[in-house]
Structure 1
């Protein structure tokens, strides 16, 4: 499929999103399969809270869902969809884009720690230059993802992912300012003991399994910097199996 865009529920030219997605605002990203997406309630809650904080008004949920349906049209069942709410003419404008679906390979990922903290990290911001730049920089060094940390190595999140890990049967999440991803929120519904705690890069080799998650899915982390990490296939199979079993919410 070719990239598409819809604004306020109406299809527009395929390049119309370029001028808008760099504006002041926020967004959410989802994978659509058979016109369904996991965690639609979490996506809408994310957009709602960010809209109130950035624009001081309630989210137009009808415009969100209408734009998703419009960008999918009658023919697209699988896609990578983004919903933006950006400032235009002094008011928030809802826009959706659709691109070919992303299929996660499941290949273990490598991460490079980078000292960087996002401004308003709890909001998924429309203009993402810093993260895009960091990913390009670490990719040149042979890494898949940048791991954002403080000066003393406390982990917050990845550039476009959340990081989690297992220790003694407990699911551990970093206790730091971050964007709480939709997939992270879904995995927090797993029936396993979970906790948030300050997590440093130096502590990752002590965990039984480290993974990354975002709208594209869940993948193991095999290396942080030059340090190889433990791999537990059974743990990863359990996490991925839980995620894969989550039913998608209908978009029609």
Structure 2
């Protein structure tokens, strides 16, 4: 018998059924503006590396770009786009488009949560745990959760990378994490950079603490009830570098 699936009483076609069953895989998330993407090559490299690790197969770059163009259609120029490579009967490339997202102005409050992702360096298609952690943090009045080890070492945010910048040096956590695309673009800044073990108690003693993801850059204003210093000049310098990154055309 052929496998079937239904949603709210409606049978799904084959493609929708395969999408519903695709729980194993990886993805990348990007912001599209005027049909351009920052760091498109880095997104493709991320997908290629994860594809080899999870599926033992090379990525079809043409299928990725074709899926992005298809989901944008002829009318969308700005969107939040995700590209998934998931396995139903075989690895398949899928893309989704949603309204564009901008980074919240902040400063954001964050709260540490003890949780470490399996294969942290892979952006995994199934993200129930992170989604739940993020929702719980939001209900408690925080803009993001910081994922930590049992002894308090910070690795990353639930959907972000965390860094600190004092105007002269960029500091990143030294822990297993997803090496985010925006983080990689910031690593191109011509300033000294280092990775070091970081705990929540260290953050008030650093420069401007910030979060970054495909939405952009967000200053952090507090960890739980502890206020962090705000350095507008440091944030401006980070944003100037990020805003100066070239946008790669999709067409």
TM over 0.5: yes
Provide runs of 4+ in structure 1 moved above 3 Å.
15-22
Q: Distance in 1 between matches of 2:181 and 2:118?
A: 19
Shift of 1:169: 1.9
Give 2:45's aligned residue: 45
Q: Is residue 27 of structure 1 aligned with residue 27 of structure 2?
A: yes
Q: Deviations for 1:27-55, whole angstroms, at most 9, x for unmatched residues?
A: 00000000000001110010000000000
Q: Is the 8 A contact 1:109 1:222 kept in 2?
A: yes
Q: Distance in 2 between matches of 1:210 and 1:176?
A: 17
Count of paired positions: 239
Give 1:5's aligned residue: none
Q: Distance in 1 between matches of 2:201 and 2:100?
A: 35
Give 2:74's aligned residue: 74
Cα RMSD after superposing both structures: 1.8
Give 1:213's aligned residue: 212
Q: Distance in 1 between matches of 2:55 and 2:81?
A: 23
Shift of 1:18: 9.4
Q: Distance in 2 between matches of 1:65 and 1:17?
A: 23
Q: Is the 8 A contact 2:164 2:170 kept in 1?
A: yes
Shift of 1:167: 4.4
Query: Aligned pair in 2 of structure 1 residues 32, 17: CA closer, same or farther (>3 Å)?
Result: farther
The aligned runs of 1:146-165 (5 Å cut-off) are 146-165=145-164
The aligned runs of 1:1-252 (5 Å cut-off) are 16=16, 19-20=19-20, 23-89=23-89, 91-167=90-166, 169-252=168-251
Q: Is the 8 A contact 2:26 2:85 kept in 1?
A: yes
Q: Distance in 2 between matches of 1:207 and 1:33?
A: 33
Q: Is the 8 A contact 1:20 1:86 kept in 2?
A: no
Q: Distance in 2 between matches of 1:77 and 1:18?
A: 28
SS at match of 1:62: helix
Query: Aligned pair in 2 of structure 1 residues 22, 221: CA closer, same or farther (>3 Å)?
Result: farther
Query: Aligned pair in 2 of structure 1 residues 53, 209: CA closer, same or farther (>3 Å)?
Result: same
Q: Is the 8 A contact 2:30 2:82 kept in 1?
A: yes
Q: Which consecutive residues of structure 2, in runs of 5 or more, have no partner in the other structure? A: 1-12
Q: Distance in 1 between matches of 2:16 and 2:75?
A: 21
Shift of 1:199: 1.1
- Tell me the TM-score normalized by structure 2: 0.91
Shift of 1:226: 1.0
Q: Is the 8 A contact 2:166 2:234 kept in 1?
A: no
Query: Aligned pair in 2 of structure 1 residues 168, 97: CA closer, same or farther (>3 Å)?
Result: closer
Q: Deviations for 1:99-127, whole angstroms, at most 9, x for unmatched residues?
A: 11112232211110000100000000001
Q: Distance in 2 between matches of 1:28 and 1:189?
A: 20
Shift of 1:221: 0.2
Q: Greater CA deviation, 228-237 or 95-104?
A: 95-104
Q: Which consecutive residues of structure 1, in runs of 5 or more, have no partner in the other structure? A: 1-12
